[in-house]
């Protein structure tokens, strides 16, 4: 099966196709990262110097309403965005700041869609710690100290 173009995805979601919207969608879907508004803006500005930060916010809000992207509040000082819409958890490395997808079964309450009679509409599972790359130097130091 042939993959849909960005223009087709936007059109199917009743979003007017513009170069800025297409590029924001490409930025969000082209990598495994979870970019912030500022990082999306910086990359968009390279190709469209006249674009404003407000335009990026407007595009992201539109994409959120159309369920093309979800906003992550894993950091307390700024939002990140994820184009993977299936339920999954996230891990934030406290040292390097990288956000990674964590694939594991959702908690039982979210699978049932309710908890204590309350309807669950959205669920975010966030884990915090040190990623493998940041732990590597730490574990080498510990091994060296044991000698």
Which CATH number covers residue 74?
Answer: 1.10.10.10
**Terminal CA-CA length for the chain:** 57
Could you tell me if 34 and 102 lie in one domain? no
Domain limits for position 81: 1-85
Residues 53, 36, 62, 85: what is their CA dihedral angle, to the nearest 10 degrees? Answer: 170
Please tell me the distance from the alpha carbon of residue 65 to that of residue 71, in angstroms, as a whole number.
Answer: 11
Task: Say if residue 81 is in the same domain as residue 108.
Answer: no
Per residue of the chain (147 residues), give pLDDT as tens: 456 899 999 999 999 999 999 999 999 987 678 999 999 999 999 999 999 999 999 999 999 999 999 999 999 889 999 999 888 889 999 999 999 999 887 777 677 788 888 888 877 889 999 999 998 766 555 555 554
Domain endpoint, select from 45, 63, 85: 85
Q: What is the pTM of this model?
A: 0.80
């Amino acid at each position: 099966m042939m993959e849909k173009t960005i223009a087709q995805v936007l059109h199917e979601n009743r979003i007017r196709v513009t170069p800025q919207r297409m590029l924001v969608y490409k930025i969000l879907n082209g990598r495994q990262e979870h970019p912030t508004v500022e990082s999306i803006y910086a990359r968009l500005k390279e190709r469209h110097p006249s674009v404003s930060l407000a335009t990026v916010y407007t595009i992201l809000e539109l994409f959120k309403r159309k369920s093309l992207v979800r906003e992550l509040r894993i950091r307390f000082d700024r939002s990140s965005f994820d184009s993977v819409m299936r339920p999954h958890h996230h891990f934030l490395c406290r040292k390097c700041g990288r956000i990674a997808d964590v694939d594991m079964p959702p908690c039982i309450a979210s699978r049932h869609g309710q908890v204590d009679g309350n309807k669950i509409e959205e669920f975010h599972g966030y884990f915090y710690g040190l990623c493998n790359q940041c732990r590597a130097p730490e574990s080498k130091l510990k091994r060296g100290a044991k000698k």
